[in-house]
Amino acid sequence: MFPTREDVHGIKRLEVLREAAASFNFKGYHATSMNEIAASLGVTKAALYHYFPNKNSLLAACFDHAMDAAFASMERARKEGRNGRERLVLTMSYYVAQLINELNCCVVLMEDKALEPEDQAKLVRQRDRFERALRSFIREGIDDGSVVPCDPKLAVFVILGAMNWVPKWFKPSGAWKPDQLNAALAQMFERLVSSSPVAAMASDVGELPSSAGPPLSLSSLGLRGHGARVTKIAKKTDKKVKVGGRR
Amino acid sequence: MFPTREDVHGIKRLEVLREAAASFNFKGYHATSMNEIAASLGVTKAALYHYFPNKNSLLAACFDHAMDAAFASMERARKEGRNGRERLVLTMSYYVAQLINELNCCVVLMEDKALEPEDQAKLVRQRDRFERALRSFIREGIDDGSVVPCDPKLAVFVILGAMNWVPKWFKPSGAWKPDQLNAALAQMFERLVSSSPVAAMASDVGELPSSAGPPLSLSSLGLRGHGARVTKIAKKTDKKVKVGGRR
DNA sequence: TGCCTAACTAACCGGACGGTTAGCAAACCG
DNA sequence: CGGTTTGCTAACCGTCCGGTTAGTTAGGCA
Q: Return the closest nucleotide (C1') to the Cα of B44.
A: C9
> Quick check: A12 CB within 7 A of strand D?
yes
Domain housing A32: 1-52
Residues B47 and B63 in one domain: no
Residues A19 and A97 in one domain: no
Question: What pLDDT was estimated at residue B211?
Answer: 54
Which residue, A30, A52, A74, sits at the end of a domain? A52
Looking at every residue in chain A, the average pLDDT score rounds to 83
Q: pLDDT per residue over A16-66, tens digit each?
A: 999 999 999 889 999 999 999 999 999 999 999 999 999 999 999 999 999
Q: pLDDT per residue over B128-145, tens digit each?
A: 999 999 999 999 999 999
Residues A189 and A155 in one domain: yes
Least Cα separation, residue A46 to chain B (angstroms)? 23
Give me the mean pLDDT over the A119-140 stretch: 97
Question: What pLDDT was estimated at residue B230?
Answer: 32
Residues A146 and A197 in one domain: yes
- Of B30, B162, B202, which has the smallest distance from its Cβ to A30's Cβ? B30
Least Cα separation, residue B43 to chain A (angstroms)? 25
Domains contained in chain A, number: 2
> Quick check: B34 CB within 7 A of strand D?
yes
A103 vs A26: CA distance, rounded Å:
13
SS3 B194: strand
| H-only helix segments in chain A | 5-27, 34-41, 45-48, 55-80, 84-102, 117-144, 152-169, 178-193, 218-221
Of B22, B23, B44, the closest CA to residue B35 belongs to B44
Chain C bases closer than 7 angstroms to a protein Cβ = 6-11, 16-22, 27-28
Question: What pLDDT was estimated at residue B221?
Answer: 44
How many Cβ atoms from other residues are within 10 Å of residue A205's Cβ? 21
Question: What pLDDT was estimated at residue A218?
Answer: 44
Contacts B199 to A, Cβ<8 Å: 148, 195
The four Cα atoms B120, A171, B166, B57 give a dihedral, to 10 degrees, of 10
**Cβ atoms A65, A21 nearer than 8 A:** yes
**Cβ atoms A193, A88 nearer than 8 A:** yes
Of A176, A180, A170, A169, the closest CA to residue A239 belongs to A176
Residues B208 and B143 in one domain: yes
- Of B111, B158, B203, which has the smallest distance from its Cβ to A149's Cβ? B203
Residues A46 and A156 in one domain: no
* Banded pLDDT at B64 (limits 50, 70, 90): very high
Between these two residues, B88 and B215, which has the higher pLDDT value? B88
Residues B73 and B149 in one domain: yes
pLDDT exceeds cutoff 50 at A147: yes
Between these two residues, A155 and A107, which has the higher pLDDT value? A155
Residues B180 and B118 in one domain: yes
| H-only helix segments in chain B | 5-27, 34-41, 45-48, 55-80, 84-102, 117-144, 152-169, 178-193, 218-221
Question: What pLDDT was estimated at residue B2?
Answer: 58
Give me the mean pLDDT over the A83-88 stretch: 98
CATH classification at residue A33: 1.10.10.60
Contact B169 A157 (CB under 8 A): yes
Looking at every residue in chain B, the average pLDDT score rounds to 83
pLDDT exceeds cutoff 80 at B104: no
Contacts A124 to B, Cβ<8 Å: 247
Residues B43 and B67 in one domain: no
Question: What pLDDT was estimated at residue B101?
Answer: 79
Of A165, A154, A166, the closest CA to residue B188 belongs to A154
Residues B223 and B103 in one domain: yes
Percent of all residues in chain B with a pLDDT value above 90, rounded to a whole number: 61
Of A67, A59, A68, the closest CA to residue A21 belongs to A59
Least Cα separation, residue B1 to chain A (angstroms)? 45
How many Cβ atoms from other residues are within 10 Å of residue A12's Cβ? 15
Q: Which of A117-121, A166-170, B3-7, B180-184 has the lowest mean pLDDT?
A: B3-7
**Cβ atoms B92, B166 nearer than 8 A:** no
Residues A97 and A167 in one domain: yes
Residue B129 backbone phi and psi in degrees, to 5: -60, -45
Of B184, B168, B186, the closest CA to residue B176 belongs to B184
Specify the DSSP class assigned to residue A104.
S
B234 vs B231: CA distance, rounded Å:
9
Residues B25 and B3 in one domain: yes
A198 vs A202: CA distance, rounded Å:
11
Q: pLDDT per residue over B191-234, tens digit each?
A: 999 999 888 888 887 777 765 434 444 444 444 333 333 333 23
Contacts A200 to B, Cβ<8 Å: 148-150
CATH classification at residue B115: 1.10.357.10
Question: What pLDDT was estimated at residue B216?
Answer: 42
Q: Quick one: CA dihedral B70, B75, B79, B82, positive or negative?
A: positive
A114 vs B28: CA distance, rounded Å:
9
Angle, in degrees to the nearest 10, between helices A178-193 and A84-102: 160
Contacts A198 to B, Cβ<8 Å: 148
**Cβ atoms B183, B215 nearer than 8 A:** no
> Quick check: A116 CB within 7 A of strand C?
no
